[in-house]
Amino acid sequence: MSDAESRRIVLVRHAKADWPQVSDHERPLAERGRKDAPVTGRKLADADIVPDLVVCSTATRTRETFKLMVSELPTRPKTVYEERVYEASPGQLIALLEETPDEVRTLALVGHNPGVQALAEILAGESEPEAASRMAARGFPTAAYAVLTFTGPWKSLEPGVGTLVDYWAPGGE
Protein backbone atom coordinates (compact mmCIF):
# COMPACT_ATOMS: atom_id res chain seq x y z
CA MET A 1 0.00 0.00 0.00
CA SER A 2 1.30 3.41 -0.85
CA ASP A 3 1.14 6.24 1.64
CA ALA A 4 -1.23 8.08 -0.70
CA GLU A 5 -4.03 5.53 -0.24
CA SER A 6 -7.13 6.41 1.69
CA ARG A 7 -7.56 5.17 5.25
CA ARG A 8 -10.64 5.00 7.44
CA ILE A 9 -11.02 5.65 11.14
CA VAL A 10 -14.16 4.36 12.84
CA LEU A 11 -14.69 6.07 16.19
CA VAL A 12 -17.12 4.16 18.41
CA ARG A 13 -18.38 5.30 21.79
CA HIS A 14 -19.09 2.41 24.16
CA ALA A 15 -22.72 1.42 24.61
CA LYS A 16 -24.82 2.54 27.61
CA ALA A 17 -23.17 1.55 30.89
CA ASP A 18 -24.69 0.71 34.24
CA TRP A 19 -23.76 2.44 37.53
CA PRO A 20 -23.17 -0.34 40.08
CA GLN A 21 -20.92 0.16 43.10
CA VAL A 22 -17.67 -0.52 41.23
CA SER A 23 -14.86 1.69 39.97
CA ASP A 24 -15.59 3.65 36.81
CA HIS A 25 -13.16 1.46 34.87
CA GLU A 26 -15.10 -1.67 35.87
CA ARG A 27 -18.62 -0.43 35.03
CA PRO A 28 -20.48 -3.01 32.90
CA LEU A 29 -23.02 -2.37 30.18
CA ALA A 30 -26.61 -1.68 31.12
CA GLU A 31 -29.42 -3.68 29.51
CA ARG A 32 -29.88 -0.96 26.87
CA GLY A 33 -26.17 -1.10 26.10
CA ARG A 34 -26.32 -4.86 25.60
CA LYS A 35 -29.12 -4.27 23.06
CA ASP A 36 -27.49 -1.31 21.26
CA ALA A 37 -23.94 -2.70 20.83
CA PRO A 38 -24.91 -5.49 18.38
CA VAL A 39 -26.99 -2.99 16.40
CA THR A 40 -23.89 -0.82 16.04
CA GLY A 41 -22.00 -3.83 14.69
CA ARG A 42 -24.82 -4.62 12.23
CA LYS A 43 -24.91 -1.01 11.00
CA LEU A 44 -21.15 -1.11 10.37
CA ALA A 45 -21.43 -4.47 8.58
CA ASP A 46 -24.36 -3.22 6.47
CA ALA A 47 -22.27 -0.20 5.47
CA ASP A 48 -19.39 -2.55 4.53
CA ILE A 49 -17.19 -1.03 7.23
CA VAL A 50 -15.13 -3.85 8.64
CA PRO A 51 -11.95 -2.81 10.45
CA ASP A 52 -8.59 -4.44 9.87
CA LEU A 53 -7.65 -3.50 13.42
CA VAL A 54 -9.63 -2.50 16.52
CA VAL A 55 -8.05 -0.56 19.36
CA CYS A 56 -10.33 -0.89 22.37
CA SER A 57 -10.14 0.67 25.82
CA THR A 58 -9.52 -1.79 28.64
CA ALA A 59 -12.60 -0.57 30.54
CA THR A 60 -15.25 -3.24 31.07
CA ARG A 61 -17.97 -1.35 29.18
CA THR A 62 -15.81 -0.87 26.08
CA ARG A 63 -14.68 -4.50 26.03
CA GLU A 64 -18.31 -5.64 26.37
CA THR A 65 -19.40 -3.22 23.63
CA PHE A 66 -16.73 -4.55 21.30
CA LYS A 67 -17.57 -8.20 22.04
CA LEU A 68 -21.25 -7.65 21.19
CA MET A 69 -20.47 -5.41 18.21
CA VAL A 70 -17.90 -7.71 16.61
CA SER A 71 -20.29 -10.66 16.70
CA GLU A 72 -22.24 -8.87 13.93
CA LEU A 73 -19.25 -8.27 11.65
CA PRO A 74 -18.48 -10.74 8.83
CA THR A 75 -14.92 -11.26 10.11
CA ARG A 76 -13.25 -10.70 13.44
CA PRO A 77 -10.57 -8.01 13.14
CA LYS A 78 -7.26 -8.08 14.94
CA THR A 79 -7.87 -6.48 18.33
CA VAL A 80 -5.64 -4.60 20.75
CA TYR A 81 -6.93 -3.75 24.22
CA GLU A 82 -5.17 -0.51 25.09
CA GLU A 83 -5.29 1.09 28.53
CA ARG A 84 -4.19 4.44 27.08
CA VAL A 85 -7.64 4.88 25.46
CA TYR A 86 -9.33 5.17 28.86
CA GLU A 87 -9.69 8.86 29.83
CA ALA A 88 -7.51 9.91 26.88
CA SER A 89 -7.60 13.42 25.45
CA PRO A 90 -7.96 13.88 21.68
CA GLY A 91 -4.24 14.64 21.45
CA GLN A 92 -3.38 11.43 23.29
CA LEU A 93 -5.72 9.48 20.99
CA ILE A 94 -4.09 10.99 17.89
CA ALA A 95 -0.65 10.00 19.21
CA LEU A 96 -1.93 6.47 19.81
CA LEU A 97 -3.47 6.20 16.32
CA GLU A 98 -0.21 7.43 14.77
CA GLU A 99 1.35 4.17 16.01
CA THR A 100 -0.90 2.14 13.68
CA PRO A 101 1.01 -0.02 11.18
CA ASP A 102 0.64 1.35 7.66
CA GLU A 103 -0.73 -1.95 6.31
CA VAL A 104 -3.92 -1.20 8.30
CA ARG A 105 -6.44 0.48 6.03
CA THR A 106 -9.47 0.65 8.35
CA LEU A 107 -9.01 1.11 12.08
CA ALA A 108 -11.76 1.21 14.70
CA LEU A 109 -11.28 2.84 18.07
CA VAL A 110 -13.74 1.84 20.80
CA GLY A 111 -13.54 4.42 23.54
CA HIS A 112 -15.18 7.01 25.73
CA ASN A 113 -16.55 10.51 25.65
CA PRO A 114 -15.60 13.28 25.69
CA GLY A 115 -12.47 12.02 23.89
CA VAL A 116 -14.17 10.15 21.03
CA GLN A 117 -16.50 12.99 20.04
CA ALA A 118 -13.76 15.60 20.39
CA LEU A 119 -11.44 13.47 18.26
CA ALA A 120 -14.06 13.19 15.51
CA GLU A 121 -14.58 16.96 15.55
CA ILE A 122 -10.85 17.74 15.62
CA LEU A 123 -9.89 15.35 12.81
CA ALA A 124 -12.73 16.42 10.50
CA GLY A 125 -11.40 19.25 8.38
CA GLU A 126 -14.22 18.48 5.96
CA SER A 127 -17.53 16.66 6.30
CA GLU A 128 -20.23 15.11 4.19
CA PRO A 129 -23.11 17.51 4.94
CA GLU A 130 -25.58 14.78 5.94
CA ALA A 131 -23.14 13.11 8.35
CA ALA A 132 -22.14 16.45 9.87
CA SER A 133 -25.77 17.46 10.28
CA ARG A 134 -26.66 14.19 12.05
CA MET A 135 -23.66 14.45 14.37
CA ALA A 136 -24.39 18.10 15.17
CA ALA A 137 -28.00 17.23 15.99
CA ARG A 138 -27.31 14.10 18.04
CA GLY A 139 -23.93 14.77 19.64
CA PHE A 140 -22.17 11.49 20.34
CA PRO A 141 -24.48 9.29 22.44
CA THR A 142 -23.54 5.83 23.63
CA ALA A 143 -23.06 3.21 20.88
CA ALA A 144 -22.72 5.94 18.22
CA TYR A 145 -20.01 5.89 15.60
CA ALA A 146 -18.34 8.31 13.22
CA VAL A 147 -16.34 7.30 10.16
CA LEU A 148 -13.58 9.55 8.88
CA THR A 149 -11.27 9.12 5.92
CA PHE A 150 -7.85 10.61 5.31
CA THR A 151 -5.01 10.08 2.88
CA GLY A 152 -1.46 9.34 3.92
CA PRO A 153 0.43 7.27 6.47
CA TRP A 154 -0.94 6.92 10.00
CA LYS A 155 1.96 8.95 11.35
CA SER A 156 0.62 11.94 9.37
CA LEU A 157 -2.66 11.98 11.31
CA GLU A 158 -3.30 15.45 12.71
CA PRO A 159 -6.19 17.85 13.32
CA GLY A 160 -8.15 18.72 10.19
CA VAL A 161 -6.76 16.02 7.86
CA GLY A 162 -9.90 13.89 7.85
CA THR A 163 -13.28 13.96 6.20
CA LEU A 164 -16.31 12.90 8.20
CA VAL A 165 -18.08 10.54 5.77
CA ASP A 166 -20.59 8.72 7.99
CA TYR A 167 -22.22 9.02 11.40
CA TRP A 168 -24.80 6.86 13.12
CA ALA A 169 -26.36 6.73 16.58
CA PRO A 170 -29.01 4.39 18.01
CA GLY A 171 -32.55 5.67 17.89
CA GLY A 172 -31.79 8.24 15.22
CA GLU A 173 -33.08 6.37 12.20
Which whole number is the average pLDDT over 113-134? 96
Asked whether residue 56 is assigned to any structural domain, the reply reads yes
Q: What is the pTM of this model?
A: 0.95
Q: What is the CATH number of the domain that holds 19?
A: 3.40.50.1240
Asked whether residue 108 is assigned to any structural domain, the reply reads yes
* pLDDT confidence band for 173 (50 / 70 / 90): low
Of 4-8, 76-80, 106-110, 128-132, the one with minimum mean pLDDT is 4-8
Asked whether residue 173 is assigned to any structural domain, the reply reads no
Q: Count how many domains the chain has.
A: 1
Q: How far is CA 132 from CA 50, 99, 146, 151, 167, in A?
A: 22, 27, 10, 20, 8
Asked whether residue 1 is assigned to any structural domain, the reply reads no
Kindly report, residue by residue over 28-68, the tens digit of the pLDDT: 999 999 999 999 999 999 999 999 999 999 999 999 999 99
Asked whether residue 26 is assigned to any structural domain, the reply reads yes
Kindly report, residue by residue over 95-118, the tens digit of the pLDDT: 999 999 999 999 999 999 999 999
Which whole number is the average pLDDT over 123-144? 96
Domain with 103, as residue range(s), is: 6-168
Kindly report, residue by residue over 79-94, the tens digit of the pLDDT: 999 999 999 999 999 9
Contact by Cβ (8 Å): 120, 149: no
Question: DSSP characters for 9-30?
Answer: EEEEEPPPBP--SS-GGG--B-
pLDDT confidence of residue 171: 85
Kindly state the DSSP code that residue 171 receives in the 8-state scheme.
Answer: T
Residue 27 annotated as lining a ligand binding site: no
Asked whether residue 86 is assigned to any structural domain, the reply reads yes
Q: Name the more confident of 121 and 2.
A: 121
* pLDDT confidence band for 5 (50 / 70 / 90): confident
Question: DSSP characters for 85-132?
Answer: GTT--HHHHHHHHTTS-TT--EEEEEE-TTHHHHHHHHHEEEE-HHHH
